[in-house]
Amino acid sequence: MNKPILVKCYLKSNLGDDLFLATLVKRYPEQKFEIFVDPQYTAKYSGIHNVHVIKKGILFRVLNRLCKLITNGGIYSLIQTRYSAVVEIGGSIFSERDRKPKVDPEREYLADHFSHYFVIGSNFGPYKSDEFLEEYRKFFKKIEGTVFRDQKTYSLFSDLSNVKYAPDVVFTLPFSENKVDSNSNKDKYAVMSLIDLSINDVSRQSGLAKMAHQYEEYVTKVALELLSQNYTIKFIPFSTAQNDLLVSKRICDRILGANPKANVEIIDSNNDHYKLETIRNSTLLVSTRYHSMILGWLFNVPQLVLVYGDKTKQVINDLYTEQYKMTLNVLNEKASFDSSRMNTVPNIMEIKKQAELQFFYLDRFLSVNQ
């Protein structure tokens, strides 16, 4: 197709969301895509060969604000004819915020003005009101196709003929990126993927901030236990904007306070490939970030999952109930840790095959992979 596809995605150098974009554009290498990105992140996404980056600079923001005086579509009302379709790809992108429980006006505008609008890879919620649910039922019914990533979300909309379920998009990473190096002498190290519970985020459930202290105490305990077993600890922040780097530094300080000679490292890099390689070649994985868990399964790395929200719990329930996990509400000074219980999905190829269905509607539109 000559026209590009507009991609709506959380593009703020978050490894999980960047993997959404990567899987999408690598699946369709001949298709052109266009993304809107804040100025400080444009360099991160400018090197992708089939992606055109539009910087949301001063001119963009002024035009968008002026257009919103006339239409809910904002700047999209000026450029909508540029695109053949809209793809919205992301995880927790349908959360009810503290406002009137309506569909986002920009999202509503695009649904009304594009015949081809696709939602890929998401879950629904957290939400509080039936009105919010019903407004989005109307939205999903209106667009061409939606594929959710967990069964609980799918059950809310399963009566709609244009809605499907498939495991997470990231399971479809190309096989070349999923190939484990044959290195029998690789370093014995554990990767930790942490989040800062003390900050508020619309995609998270309420009440998490009060668990921040006990969470950080527990992951420090886990790290010290792994260090006593001669593991190196490598922290991989997924999102600097959401304080992953800061919380990793806090835990490092705690560890070094207890053991000044501890072998710890923070992977403070914008190189997503390097981060993926570090996770792929790790011996063990402690995952709080949702997509750290997914990568642990994909790369066959035994892990402990620290469950902080429904999105993680539901996917564990869907795909691997035997996963060694702890929920945050049970983390205290008596909470146990047993590295011998760390495990991972044994049947990943079947899950990868099922995950291809995430692209069912877009494949059909582009007439590929049929």
Domain shared by 33 and 153, yes or no: yes
Domain shared by 237 and 149, yes or no: no
Domain shared by 26 and 126, yes or no: yes
Residue range 244-268: mean pLDDT, rounded: 95
* pLDDT band at residue 135 under the 50/70/90 scheme: very high
pLDDT score for 174: 80
Angle between the 244-258 and 212-228 helix axes, to the nearest 10 degrees? Answer: 50
Give the model confidence (pLDDT) of 57-83 as tens digits.
999 999 999 999 998 889 999 888 999
pLDDT score for 72: 86
Three-state secondary structure call for residue 276: helix
Q: Could you say which DSSP state residue 239 is in?
A: B
pLDDT score for 185: 46
- Taking 80 as the threshold, does the pLDDT of residue 42 lie above it? yes
Three-state secondary structure call for residue 4: coil
Question: CB–CB of 236/193 below 8 Å?
Answer: yes
Name the percent of the chain lying above pLDDT 90. Answer: 79
* Alpha carbon of residue 24 to chain centroid: 13
Where is average pLDDT lowest: 97-111, 154-168, 287-301?
A: 97-111
Q: Give a yes or no: residue 120 inside a domain.
A: yes
CA-atom Rg of the chain in angstroms: 21
Q: Give a yes or no: residue 41 inside a domain.
A: yes
Domain shared by 236 and 197, yes or no: yes
- The token pair at 361 is 């509607």
Domain shared by 93 and 185, yes or no: no
pLDDT score for 97: 78
Give the model confidence (pLDDT) of 207-228 as tens digits.
788 889 999 999 999 999 999 9
- The token pair at 172 is 């479809």
Q: Could you say which DSSP state residue 100 is in?
A: -
* pLDDT band at residue 246 under the 50/70/90 scheme: very high
Domain shared by 187 and 156, yes or no: no
Q: Give a yes or no: residue 366 inside a domain.
A: no
Of 2-6, 161-165, 330-334, which has the strongest mean pLDDT?
161-165
Q: Give a yes or no: residue 334 inside a domain.
A: yes
The span from the CA of 308 to the CA of 328, in Å, is 6
Give the model confidence (pLDDT) of 277-309 as tens digits.
999 999 999 999 999 999 999 999 999 999 998
Q: Give a yes or no: residue 369 inside a domain.
A: no
pLDDT score for 333: 72
Domain shared by 129 and 192, yes or no: no
Domain shared by 122 and 185, yes or no: no
Residues in Cβ contact with 320 at an 8 Å cutoff, skipping those fewer than 6 apart: 297, 345
Give the model confidence (pLDDT) of 118-130 as tens digits.
999 999 988 889 9
pLDDT score for 186: 59
**Higher local confidence (pLDDT), 2 or 40:** 40
- Residue 184: other Cβ atoms inside 10 A: 5
Domain C-terminal end among 120, 144, 165: 165
Domain shared by 208 and 64, yes or no: no
How many separate domains does the chain show? 2
- Taking 70 as the threshold, does the pLDDT of residue 249 lie above it? yes
**Higher local confidence (pLDDT), 123 or 178:** 123
Where is average pLDDT lowest: 176-185, 241-250, 322-331?
A: 176-185
Residue range 41-46: mean pLDDT, rounded: 93
Q: Please report the beta strands in 44-196, taking only residues with DSSP state E, as ranges in sequence order.
A: 51-55, 85-89, 117-122, 145-148, 163-165, 189-193
CATH number of the domain encompassing residue 118: 3.40.50.11720
pLDDT score for 273: 92
Question: CB–CB of 117/144 below 8 Å?
Answer: yes
pLDDT score for 232: 96
Residue range 305-328: mean pLDDT, rounded: 95
Residue range 325-354: mean pLDDT, rounded: 92
- Residue 206: other Cβ atoms inside 10 A: 9
Q: Give a yes or no: residue 367 inside a domain.
A: no
Question: CB–CB of 76/110 below 8 Å?
Answer: yes
- Taking 60 as the threshold, does the pLDDT of residue 203 lie above it? no
Provide the domain limits for residue 105.
5-165
Phi, psi of 86 (to 5 degrees): -120, 130
Q: Give a yes or no: residue 363 inside a domain.
A: no
Residue range 3-31: mean pLDDT, rounded: 95
Domain shared by 182 and 262, yes or no: yes
Q: Which helix (H) or strand (E) holds 287?
A: strand 284-287
Q: Give a yes or no: residue 359 inside a domain.
A: no
CATH number of the domain encompassing residue 220: 3.40.50.2000
Domain shared by 49 and 92, yes or no: yes
The pTM of the full predicted model, rounded to 2 decimals, is: 0.93
Residue range 95-108: mean pLDDT, rounded: 83
Question: Whats the size of the chain, residue-wise?
Answer: 370
Place of tokens 């001949």: 30
pLDDT score for 226: 97
Domain shared by 294 and 318, yes or no: yes
